[in-house]
Chain A
């Protein structure tokens, strides 16, 4: 069900500037649907980024984050050709992993 992410990783020296767009409804649980019924919570809980298999970034996320969110962070010690994979998991157990090779264009 989960749709692909869009990951951009550009190198500046040995620092990779990573920007990732994730497709997710990020329901807060506070909204009602057209029929007036509350829409159940559905949001990303954890995000991890791995550089060549080593975890370099981990985050716990709440419902306060917007729909289809953008995350940006920097990774030190990266070089062209490194594999960067990003994984999110939501409160329903749904998850998605996407991978890019740094320096291979956006």
Chain B
């Protein structure tokens, strides 16, 4: 009797442990893509954009003929190592929460004298052109490889951004009456063969952060999170969000804070 009870408990514990793991492996297509990604990651062309970004970071450019080496990414002017893992964060000089690309664009404007309107004109990569902020973000992100995500929530505006981001994430509207949460707020959803992570859960929220910025093999284009979120808005049939706007920084704060404590692996590769 006692033995049977113990066995029952063991079985129950085993089932509990086994279920979440099984939910991850049962999708053979996803497992194949993971294998493929692992192989491709060894020679990820994202590294080309990393090298290009470093060149851009050090070069004296723009109307003010200055480099970005004095740009403060949150850990002090010029400190790149580990900065990406602690973004988005609040910046007193801009009096707002900024994600990595927003901060880079801010520095390009304040230090180098570029115009926002020009940078926002064609902010996304195409077959023929990779915008400079995308390469710069890739460079910054690469210097947080292997570091734990730790987006701060100390400043009231950072907590505010989290709550705003959460509200945006759950806001249903548009022609499809969609929210981000419609696809990314529940477990085990998928679009075609692609499983959709549930970003409200920490262990899955990291998937929103980990692969980005990412090199997309279809077309061979480097993309940043600004592009990804813009595309989410398009897929929801929402009005286009402003490039590096506070709206997107808030949404990124929500996603990144949810992923806090998980290791960032550097720029990723997408199929």
Query: Do chains A and B interact in one complex?
Result: yes
Query: Chain A interface (Cβ within 8 Å of chain B)?
Result: 3-6, 19, 21-23, 25, 66-68, 70, 72
B220 at the interface (CB under 8 A from A): yes
Query: Chain B interface (Cβ within 8 Å of chain A)?
Result: 43, 45, 47-48, 50-52, 55, 127-128, 215, 219-220
Closest residue of chain B to A3 (Cβ to Cβ) is B52
Closest residue of chain B to A72 (Cβ to Cβ) is B43
> B48 touching A23 by the CB < 8 A rule?
yes
Choose among A3, A19, A66 the residue that contacts B48 (Cβ–Cβ < 8 A).
Answer: A3
Q: How distant is A29 from chain B, measured CB to nearest CB, in Å?
A: 14
Give Cα A56–Cα B241 distance, bound, in whole angstroms: 52
> B48 touching A21 by the CB < 8 A rule?
yes
Which of chain A's residues have a CB closer than 8 A to the CB of B219? 67
Q: Which 3 A-B pairs have the closest CB atoms?
A: A67-B220, A68-B45, A70-B43
Choose among A21, A25, A67 the residue that contacts B47 (Cβ–Cβ < 8 A).
Answer: A21
Q: How distant is A15 from chain B, measured CB to nearest CB, in Å?
A: 18
Give Cα A41–Cα B40 distance, bound, in whole angstroms: 26
Which of chain A's residues have a CB closer than 8 A to the CB of B48? 3-6, 21-23, 68
Which of chain B's residues have a CB closer than 8 A to the CB of A6? 47-48, 50-51
Closest residue of chain A to B221 (Cβ to Cβ) is A67
Which of chain B's residues have a CB closer than 8 A to the CB of A3? 48, 51-52
> B127 touching A19 by the CB < 8 A rule?
no
18 contacts between A and B (CB under 8 A): A3-B48, A3-B51, A4-B48, A4-B52, A4-B55, A5-B51, A6-B51, A19-B43, A21-B45, A21-B47, A21-B48, A23-B45, A23-B52, A25-B127, A68-B45, A68-B48, A70-B45, A72-B43
Q: How distant is B260 from chain A, measured CB to nearest CB, in Å?
A: 29
Question: Given A19-B43, A25-B127 in contact, is the A68-B220 Cβ separation under 8 Å?
Answer: yes
Closest residue of chain A to B52 (Cβ to Cβ) is A3
Which of chain B's residues have a CB closer than 8 A to the CB of A25? 127-128
Closest residue of chain A to B50 (Cβ to Cβ) is A6
Closest residue of chain A to B128 (Cβ to Cβ) is A25
Give Cα A12–Cα B51 distance, bound, in whole angstroms: 26
Give Cα A23–Cα B52 distance, bound, in whole angstroms: 10
> B43 touching A21 by the CB < 8 A rule?
yes
> A66 touching B220 by the CB < 8 A rule?
yes
Which of chain A's residues have a CB closer than 8 A to the CB of B51? 3-6
Closest residue of chain A to B135 (Cβ to Cβ) is A3
Which of chain B's residues have a CB closer than 8 A to the CB of A23? 45, 48, 52
Q: How distant is A75 from chain B, measured CB to nearest CB, in Å?
A: 18
